[in-house]
Amino acid sequence: MNAPEPLTVLYDADCGFCRWSVAVLLAADRAARLRPASIQSGEGDVLLAGTAPEARLASAHVVAPGGAVTSGGDTVAVLAAVLPGAAVTVPLARAAAPLSRAAYRLVAGNRTTLGRLVSPAMRAAADERIAARRAAVGWPLRAAGQQRER
């Protein structure tokens, strides 16, 4: 039986909090069902071609193998469905979608402030985890030197 294709998690590469958050997801993703990609990458441009440019950096996005894009708080149920032990929370996440959206907007609107809580060592560890996941499957990664911290 073939393993299911991974979901692509698109994040703001210029945001230390965003990179740290993706690294936390990757740490929980023991089955390697998530593949990270920056919104600013060429891959991000292709996967988010149907998303208005001003909406791309407004939130994180999850893209299914077939191309369906889920954004912001709606990604909670999609991610829970593939993370070990979290699948049981999918019905709750779907039922609480308005709450997830509101919580996501609150966090996303304060990611610069939250980013200050992510130490340089935590950002470096996050970058290493993201790079390792991408290297494990051979996808290119935006060079760390090209990142602008938020």
* Domain extent at residue 51: 7-139
Mean pLDDT, the chain, whole residue set: 85
147 pLDDT more than 60: no
Query: Taking the CB of residue 45, how many other CB atoms lie within 10 A of it?
Result: 13
What is the average pLDDT across 110-130? 93
Q: Decide which of 4 and 99 is more confident.
A: 99
Domain-embedded: residue 150 = no
Q: Are residues 13 and 42 in contact, defined by beta-carbon separation less than 8 angstroms? A: no
What is residue 145's predicted lDDT score, i.e. its pLDDT? 35
In the chain, the number of structural domains is 1
Domain-embedded: residue 47 = yes
pLDDT digits (tens, 9 = 90+) for 60-82: 999 998 899 999 989 988 998 88
Domain-embedded: residue 2 = no
What is residue 97's predicted lDDT score, i.e. its pLDDT? 83
CA atoms of 133 and 59, how far apart (whole Å): 21
